[in-house]
Amino acid sequence: MFKTIATFFLLYLVTLTLYGQEWGRSGFNSQWKFYLGDEPEAKAAGFNDKGWRNIDLPHDWSIEGTFSKEHPATNQGGALPGGIAWYRKTFQLADTIEGKQVYIDFDGIYRNSEVWINGHYLGKRPSGYTSFRYDLTPYMNIGKQSNVIAVRVDNSQQPNSRWYSGSGIYRNVWLITKNKIAIDHWGLFITSPSIQKEQATIRQQTVFKNLGSKREAAEVTIRVFDKESKLVVKKAFEQSLIPGDSEASYEIQVPQPILWSPENPYCYRVETQVYIGKRLVDQHSSPFGIRSFSFDEKEGFSLNGQRKRILGVCMHHDLGALGAAINRKAMERQLVLLKEMGANAIRISHNPPAPEFLDLCDSIGFLVMDEAFDMWRKKKNKFDYSLDFDEWHRQDLTDLIKRDRNHPSIIMWSIGNEIREQFDSTGTALTKELVAIVRSEDNTRPVVAALTETHLEKNFIAQANALDILGFNYKYEQYDSLPINFPGQKFIASETTSALATRGHYDLGHDTLRFWPPSAKEKFVKNGNADFTVSAYDQVAAYWGTSHEQAWRAVKQRDFMTGLFVWTGFDYLGEPVPYDFPARSSYYGIIDLAGFPKDVYYMYQSEWTDQPVLHLLPHWNWHSGQTIDVWAYYNQADEVELFLNGRSLGTRKKQGDDIHVSWKVPFQRGELKAVSRKNGKEVLSKEIKTASKPARIQLTVDKNKLRAGINDLAFVSATIVDADGNTAPMADDEIVFDIRGRGFIAGVDNGFQADLSPLKGNRKRAYNGKCLAIIQAKTATGEIILKASAKGLEGAELKLEVNDE
């Protein structure tokens, strides 16, 4: 329990892949066969799958479908199809495998997966987010005779999710070859019981597996390397390995440790080798980071002895036009955008993430709340995980903790989001059980739950007195009552805001916050916009939420709130509050589904970073006679002066707890310019010009060199501009992308929540002047040429290189 001290000294692996460099591990994603539909005989090794589609993993078949209100997932699930499908892979194992153990690892399959090897049933996992392993050894063929893996995926019972889930083997698959003596699966757990300036003591708890029939005398060597791969320390230990499982704990000292933090995510690397005599039988190499943290009921969160506010966002798992199929580059792009905004934390909502996402949080520098469940026994959807909770929650939670506990980014485990058992006495016993499961696998991190009931006598999860931190979603106006209602507790705003916006759209004439829908009595807003847009001024929220400014202000002003997680960092497929179909993706994001920041992005950047910011909104294409609300987000300055066509419209300064300044400006064509100043000296200036008729397409790309064979991506933004290069803020021309060479178009998007055109293909209408093409490199090196064209506009061309480095 961490009720009194709540200080955690940790040293954790920062893995480049989930299992680090696990010996005998190889990718198993290529050359699969896929069939959409149910084919019960496909489990047999001799089944004829020649007519099936050839694919590589990861794969999400739902994102390939068409949007429709007829799909049983509804628009809450993204208005895309589910169903049943099969995957098969034929492969051979060399004679050198003889005498070894062979396993297959699935990082995630959505959902109800069943797996066979050569017709032998290996098992079923209902959860779509859990990683799991099967032993192939008893059933495998070695040499010339082939092996066949068959996987049935059943996502036909809908609805089973409150957001878009995707369907299929949407995460990575690995083939593992081991000796009979090896480090067990997820068998390393590394902590640091002591961190001093002079040295840190590393403690490595290790589980070995000896599948032989006799005791073996082993030598375990642990070596630590710094970021430049220079040896820091080495130590050897004698270890007796009995048949079955053996557990051991080792300690080693790292001199003058460099501490991990979001600002400096410094990684060492630990290499563990197991020898029997002079023969190396297993090896595990993983990066790791050293840091300490604590939570205090009055002062909040501290990292490495320094107070730090947790500035976080919530994130679902889809990657926009890529669907749920994981891609390291796409996740990296998301995290880099959030890092540049000033975020330092991610709440993974509301399920175990892809392993690579945590790897990136480790290496880029994010603090993470790792969350296990969106429901327990009480359902939120007819066919959700509540049906499987009793049978699978212990296994799934245990696997999550063991899989993820060696990530320095993770600072807390969440056992649930807005769990309905908090309102009855069953919640108390379940909370105690789940917390006990977490602590049996990791007693170094606090356990939290995201709650909604702010009165102890009504909150049966809090009454369990088992949680180390209480998370509360929304209800910012009740923050001051929390220390009174829950004395001695530590708090975090586990979910805030739920403000709504469509990028680049602005409703004029509204000076107060509007709630869409206004209450729980209405599922959808009745008097919204006919075109399914929501104003990008920070003035619209779901009835349970509030504006971005108010939600941040409420946490900013209270030291006892350790931080917040804004709902959400990015728009995501599904849950398109406040509208019914044709809306099919969310309006909550600070960044839209295509990865284009909305205006409020710069509000956070002005509040959460020290870099100078000046952002002016809206665009400047209006009609004569309209009065426009002009806003400016800024920092590192005392004031902002606004000019229209060179004429000053006055200077504004933030007053009290203001987060932006504003003017009401009668529209005139020309140039709107803002200048921020500090002590009378200019800090930044920003101009927005009235755009004339759309004239041409402008292409920009995040990088022009891609690596072959790793599913590398380039994100190409297409912007429609006038003859002078000004963005045409309402252009909606259809852009056609033509690609030649060593790449293909993996997806297209424009960020508009009610666009029903496919996310797969080579064309997309611009929305408010912009759209996106995602280019994926093939396995061969060479050149990619991308052309963009639109009727009546001058086209554009882009060249990319695909190489081996």
Catalytic residues: 418, 495
CA distances from 624 to 644, 694, 786 (A): 14, 20, 40
Return the H-helix or E-strand segment holding 676.
strand 671-678
CA distances from 34 to 84, 172, 292 (A): 11, 16, 47
CA atoms within 13 A on the CB side of 117: 18
State the CB neighbour count (10 A cutoff) for residue 306: 9
Report how far residue 572's alpha carbon sits from residue 538's, in angstroms, rounded to the nearest whole number. 19
Strands (E), 242-359: 244-255, 268-276, 279-296, 300-303, 306-307, 310-315, 345-348
Report how far residue 749's alpha carbon sits from residue 760's, in angstroms, rounded to the nearest whole number. 9
Q: List % helix, strand, coil for the chain (3-state, nearest 5).
A: 15, 40, 45
Q: Give CA torsion, residues 331, 335, 340, 346, to 10 deg.
A: 160
Burial of 366 (0-12, 13-18, 19+ CB in 10 A): buried
DSSP state of 581: T
Report how far residue 689's alpha carbon sits from residue 671's, in angstroms, rounded to the nearest whole number. 4
* Amino acid letter, 104: I
Report how far residue 19's alpha carbon sits from residue 175's, in angstroms, rounded to the nearest whole number. 12
Report how far residue 333's alpha carbon sits from residue 130's, in angstroms, rounded to the nearest whole number. 24
State the CB neighbour count (10 A cutoff) for residue 235: 14
Report how far residue 402's alpha carbon sits from residue 185's, in angstroms, rounded to the nearest whole number. 9
| Residue length of the chain | 805
SS3 119: coil
DSSP state of 139: G
Q: Which pair of structure tokens corresponds to residue 244?
A: 């079955």
State the CB neighbour count (10 A cutoff) for residue 26: 9
Report how far residue 7's alpha carbon sits from residue 707's, in angstroms, rounded to the nearest whole number. 43
CB 762 within 8 A of CB 748: yes
Name 7's Cβ contacts closer than 8 Å, sequence gap at least 6: 292, 293, 294
β partners of residue 195:
200
Name 160's Cβ contacts closer than 8 Å, sequence gap at least 6: 111, 381, 382, 383, 384, 385
Instruction: Name the residue among 797, 748, 746, 801 with its Cα closest to residue 775.
Output: 746
Burial of 620 (0-12, 13-18, 19+ CB in 10 A): buried
Report how far residue 249's alpha carbon sits from residue 694's, in angstroms, rounded to the nearest whole number. 67
Strands (E), 679-795: 681-689, 696-701, 705-707, 713-721, 734-741, 743-749, 763-765, 770-777, 782-789
Instruction: Name the residue among 142, 94, 102, 95 with its Cα closest to residue 122.
Output: 102
803 Cα distance to chain centroid = 28
| Alpha helix segments (H runs only) across 316-474 | 328-341, 355-364, 389-404, 426-441
